[in-house]
Structure 1
Amino acid sequence: MTTENPPRLRLEQYLGMQIRRERQAQELKLADVARIAGISQGMLSKIENAQVSTSLDILSRLCDVLGMPMSKLFSQYDQPDGSAILVKSGEGLEVVRRGTEKGHTYHLLNHTRGPKKNFEAYMVTMDDASEEFPTFAHPGTEFLHLLEGELVYRHGNQLYPMQAGDSLTFDGDVPHGPEKLVQVPIRLLSIMNYGND
């Protein structure tokens, strides 16, 4: 699992980048923007390249020239850093669950961290067309999406034939699990949402 946390930009870098991006988006020349804002071309270049800190008055004039509200200039600077977690193909943590001994492989793709788990996502691989299958029951809701193969899935007393591309959503408290593996290998994305209770 990989997280990317680039260093946070200094305010001068962020503002310079925003001004340059807006100027270039409007295809305006550095010299023209500087002249209308009443500053030198060299000063505008230094602002865009974060070589100087500038006054709010100059920033306000630049915003007027570019036709953007000053609030937009600062709007995304203090947003929280992203916290997405990337799991590259084949890097999911292999875990042991009931069914592992039946030739089923469970790769945990991710789950929310902390004392309370909200969800877990698994890539389940089944390549043994055995007749014995574990049943599962857990709190919350489960979503299945069949990526490869064909199977019959049991939820309570109901049977659901599934082919590649099919999805199934159900209450996790009711006993459930594969009933019959029709065509192996099977790859199944399983997402369990435990809610916030």
Structure 2
Amino acid sequence: MQQEVREEQEQLSYFKIGGIIRKYRKEKELKLLDLAALTGIGSAMLSKIENGRMIPTIPTLFTIIHKLGIAPEAFFAQLNTENLFPGYYFLPKKLFSPYEKEESASGFQYFSILEHTSEGGAFQISLLELQHNASRPQVTTMAFEFIYILKGRLSYQLDDKTFEMEEGDALFFDGNIPHVPVNNSGHTASLLVLYLFTNSK
């Protein structure tokens, strides 16, 4: 039983890989293009890895770790760190952490509200401020996604379908479907975004 739980946690921990890589890259004040030049790995692929949209192969992961000067044991120690849930989280807005999903995106401002891993699954909750005429190509994510519109109006493109959304509307979908929000309303829109990671992803 303990072995099954450990294997489940290891399968669920992959979504942390990108965040750890991004943290070290930022600490070294490197842009994605700089890391691409160091590793020989395309910046688009690096962006997908950092944002949980792609799982790197073992050789690719070790190349990135080596070029960033991270000791493998230190990297994997962080990857396997369990989040111990104290029974509640109080999350003041001032502690929301801004982060970048894609360097090529324009008008997308993400704030990390909460990331949590447990035996039952893993999830990340973010606030997205989507500016008028923000631009980004459709992307895929190795997670289920739940979108809730807090303020404003936008069109949410899900492959070849488009959903017109306004305040109070919600959308749940498989992140493997190419997707992008489009804001042509003339005003900034605010979205709550929940990423749900499971063993099936």
Q: Hey, which bits of structure 1, 4+ residues long, moved more than 6 A?
A: none
The Cα offsets for residues 6-32 of structure 1, whole Å up to 9 and x where unpaired, read as xxxxxxxxxxxxxxxxxxxxxxxxxxx
Q: Which amino acid aligns with 2:159?
A: G
Helix, strand or coil for the counterpart of 1:90? Answer: helix
Matches within 5 A, 1:87-98: 87-98=91-102
* Structure number with larger C-alpha Rg: 1
Q: In the superposition, relative to structure 1, how do residues 99 and 175 fare at CA in structure 2: closer, same or farther (>3 Å)? A: farther
Do structure 1's residue 125 and structure 2's residue 129 form an aligned pair? yes
CA–CA separation in structure 1 for the residues paired with 2:174 and 2:85: 34
CA–CA separation in structure 2 for the residues paired with 1:179 and 1:160: 10
1:149 to partner: Cα distance:
0.7
Q: Answer with 92-101 or 133-142: which moved more.
A: 92-101
Q: 1:137 aligns with which of 105, 120, 140?
A: 140
- Structure 2 partner of 1:20: none
1:153 to partner: Cα distance:
0.4
1:96 to partner: Cα distance:
0.9
- Structure 2 partner of 1:158: 161
Q: In the superposition, relative to structure 1, how do residues 143 and 136 fare at CA in structure 2: closer, same or farther (>3 Å)? A: same
Q: Give the alignment's TM-score, normalised by structure 2.
A: 0.51
Q: 2:172 aligns with which of 162, 169, 172?
A: 169
Helix, strand or coil for the counterpart of 1:165? Answer: coil
Helix, strand or coil for the counterpart of 1:87? Answer: coil
Structure 2 stretches lacking a partner, 5+ long:
1-83
CA–CA separation in structure 1 for the residues paired with 2:131 and 2:115: 25
Q: 1:103 aligns with which of 107, 131, 135?
A: 107
Structure 1 stretches lacking a partner, 5+ long:
1-79
1:178 to partner: Cα distance:
1.2
CA–CA separation in structure 1 for the residues paired with 2:104 and 2:95: 18
Query: Contact 1:151–1:178 at 8 Å: present in 2 too?
Result: yes
Identity of aligned residues (%): 20
Query: Contact 1:106–1:122 at 8 Å: present in 2 too?
Result: yes
Query: Contact 1:99–1:133 at 8 Å: present in 2 too?
Result: no
Do structure 1's residue 181 and structure 2's residue 184 form an aligned pair? yes
Q: In the superposition, relative to structure 1, how do residues 81 and 113 fare at CA in structure 2: closer, same or farther (>3 Å)? A: closer
Structure (1 or 2) with the greater helix fraction: 2
Matches within 5 A, 1:56-95: 82-95=86-99
Helix, strand or coil for the counterpart of 2:92? Answer: coil
Count of aligned pairs: 117
1:136 to partner: Cα distance:
2.2
Q: 1:190 aligns with which of 184, 189, 193?
A: 193
Helix, strand or coil for the counterpart of 1:119? Answer: strand
- Structure 2 partner of 1:6: none
Q: In the superposition, relative to structure 1, how do residues 86 and 186 fare at CA in structure 2: closer, same or farther (>3 Å)? A: same
Q: Which amino acid aligns with 1:187?
A: S
